[in-house]
Amino acid sequence: MFDIGNKIPMLSSIELNAIFLLGLILFVGIMGARSFQKLKLPQVVGYIIVGIILGQSGLNIINKEIIETFVPFNYFALGIIGFTIGGELNTEVFRRYGRQFVIILLAEGLTAFFAVFLLVGILGTFILGNSAYAWALGLLLGAIASATAPAVTANVLWEYKARGPLTTTVLGIVALDDGLALILFALASSIAAVILGANPSLSSAISRAVYEIGMGISVGLIFGLGLIQILRKYAEKDKILVFSLCGILFALGLALIMKIDMLLVAMTMGVILINREPRLSRDVFKLVSGFAMPFYILFFVLVGAKFNVHTTTAKAIALVLIYLLSRTAGKMAGASFGAKIAGASKTVRKYLPYCLLGQAGVAIGLSILAYQHFPGMIGSSIIVVVTLATFVSEISAPLCVRYAVVNAQEAGLNITEDDVLSKTKVGEVMDKNPPRVYENTPIKDILDIFGESSYQTYPVVNRGNTLRGIITIESIRKAFAYSEMGRLIIAHDIMEPAATRRISTDSSLLEAEEIMDKYGVDYLPIVNGKSILEGFMEKRDIHRFVSSRLIKVKEELDSRG
């Protein structure tokens, strides 16, 4: 006997708790999201509320140590979100909305910056009792305020299957926002250091921002092109998924090593893939998005778990309120003004301001950078203010985005082929009165039926209309091999069995297509529980129906501009 007892690795209590908590987080998170969806609230709100209950402000099941254990999963979730957003930005979008994106980006980003800078500087002087600290704090918070969180915004848009001018504009803005925030923060850091009496180098601050943006795009470009070269060699979906995830993970890991923006790297990869390989990218984004849901849940639950109500003070709450009010006003006014100047549609001008209020990853990252550059009261204040403001915005922003896309009538318009197939019943598409061939029909009459109809395949039934089999062109061909017996051959002699290919009217088109693919056929008889034929369908009927639905949706979107 082999003694393997000492060779089985034992998990430490932290590792065991992390594994158990991972299952708990995913289960409770998805159940919480379902509850909030029943209240017609975005599921991301449910994830965050669950995080609060389980986290440091609630039961403290997810403590600080556990949160740190799951940090790599958070990075991965952000990477997938950035990669998927990049996949929305093809050359057609840039050609049509590029100028509009830039104008709105500058308007909403700069307006938020100046609104926070002025209000925090003025009111902060009274709260902190030090004007230099207040104005320096205002500069840094203003720069951070310009950033918009892509994660929470995009998650709501995908949940509600939004599509249209508003959705396209929102995704374009949040994809470009990081770059503007980095540049503003570099400038604000240098000026704030002057206010506080330091002797900073403006050129080094700007060069750092240029480095982050330039290297982020370069790394994303290299990994995007490399991923394309690999994926061109494979057609299997499992290999496409694995190589895609490997590419994202390698790119994110290198971004961490180089200390550059991970979101920018991932977004660039998505942009390169969608524009260089439009057909291949459809499979990639579909597979990656389907794989990513557990990581999204974990990401947003941990957002709630990080919030610690016990560390807040009266001054911190006052500064948070000033920051939130000034940032919200600046974002909304700037977005509305920018959309008007850019000549955006009325829908975009009206509802875009509600879609740019989220704040998370980039803002937190910049607040940590500010803490490192300005240790002491300034850095500590920024950490507290941005953390609390992020929590509030993560709760409120999804509600605002949902309000915007629903009232803009863009919810439910991002319909894919799979959506049509899964939501359409077989009974809606099938031919309820197909040509029937009876078991005793002679081959001459069968040929007449084939000649009078466009079907390639026909159901064979008895006098009670019970399905007995199928006749195809191949069946006819085989019958003519015995031409000397032609007058004696009837339908029963040449029909093929169809029992394993039956489906009901309540089944979805997706199930019907899966059965066709499984058995390698292009048709399906539709029967009831007693095998009575109720209709018939060929694969080309499904394709025609799906194409007409997608064309109708596209025409509706085009009519909105």
For residues 530 and 479, what is the distance between their CA atoms, to the nearest angstrom? 30
- Spell out the residues 6+ positions from residue 15 whose beta carbon is closer than 8 angstroms to its own: none
* 508 within 8 A of 485, measured Cβ to Cβ: no
Helix, strand, coil: what percent of the chain each, to 5? 75, 5, 20
For residues 491 and 476, what is the distance between their CA atoms, to the nearest angstrom? 10
Q: Looking at residue 325, what is its pLDDT?
A: 92
Residue 9 DSSP class: P
Q: Is 446 exposed, middle or buried (0-12, 13-18, 19+ CB in 10 A)?
A: buried
Bridge partners (DSSP) listed for residue 538: 523
Q: Looking at residue 371, what is its pLDDT?
A: 67
Residue 496 DSSP class: B
Residue 57 DSSP class: T
Question: 467 — phi, psi (to 5°)?
Answer: -65, 130
For residues 108 and 344, what is the distance between their CA atoms, to the nearest angstrom? 14
Q: Cα Rg for the chain, rounded, in angstroms?
A: 30
Q: Tokens for 387?
A: 């953390």
For residues 359 and 141, what is the distance between their CA atoms, to the nearest angstrom? 12
Distances from the Cα of 201 to the Cα of 197, 207, 215, 374, angstroms? 13, 10, 21, 15
DSSP string, 344-379: --HHHHHHGGGGS----HHHHHHHHHHHHHSTTHHH
Helix or strand or coil: residue 75?
A: helix
Q: Tokens for 445?
A: 């009459």
For residues 322 and 333, what is the distance between their CA atoms, to the nearest angstrom? 16
The structural domains of the chain, ordered by start, are: 64-414 (1.20.1530.20), 421-551 (3.10.580.10)
For residues 431 and 412, what is the distance between their CA atoms, to the nearest angstrom? 28
Q: How many CB atoms lie within 10 A of CB 475?
A: 20
Q: Tokens for 37?
A: 């969806």
Q: Is 282 exposed, middle or buried (0-12, 13-18, 19+ CB in 10 A)?
A: middle
Strands 467-472 and 523-527 turn out to be unpaired
Length of the chain: 561
Please report, in tens digits, the pLDDT of each residue of the chain (561 residues total).
Answer: 334 444 444 444 444 567 788 888 888 888 877 777 777 666 777 777 888 888 877 787 887 778 888 878 878 887 887 788 777 777 776 777 678 888 998 899 899 999 999 998 888 888 877 788 888 888 889 988 888 877 778 778 877 888 888 888 888 888 777 778 877 877 887 777 777 766 555 566 667 667 877 888 889 899 999 988 888 887 777 888 888 889 889 998 998 888 777 777 888 888 888 888 877 887 888 888 778 788 878 877 887 787 776 666 777 788 889 999 999 999 999 999 998 988 888 888 899 998 888 876 667 767 766 766 676 677 777 777 877 787 788 778 888 888 988 888 888 777 767 777 777 787 777 877 777 777 777 777 777 777 677 777 777 877 777 777 777 766 676 666 554 545 567 767 677 776 556 677 777 888 887 787 777 777 778 777 677 777 787 788 888 887 777 777 666 666 655
Question: How are strands ordered across the β-sheet holding 457-461?
Answer: 437-438, 457-461, 467-472
* 462 within 8 A of 423, measured Cβ to Cβ: no
Q: Tokens for 250?
A: 């390698």
Q: Looking at residue 3, what is its pLDDT?
A: 43
Q: Looking at residue 205, what is its pLDDT?
A: 62
DSSP string, 157-219: HHHTT--SHHHHHHHHHHHHHHHHHHHHHHHHHHHHHHHTT----HHHHHHHHHHHHHHHHHH
For residues 404 and 311, what is the distance between their CA atoms, to the nearest angstrom? 34
- Using a cut of 0.75, tell me whether the model's pTM lies above it: no
H-helix segments, 236-277: 237-258, 262-276
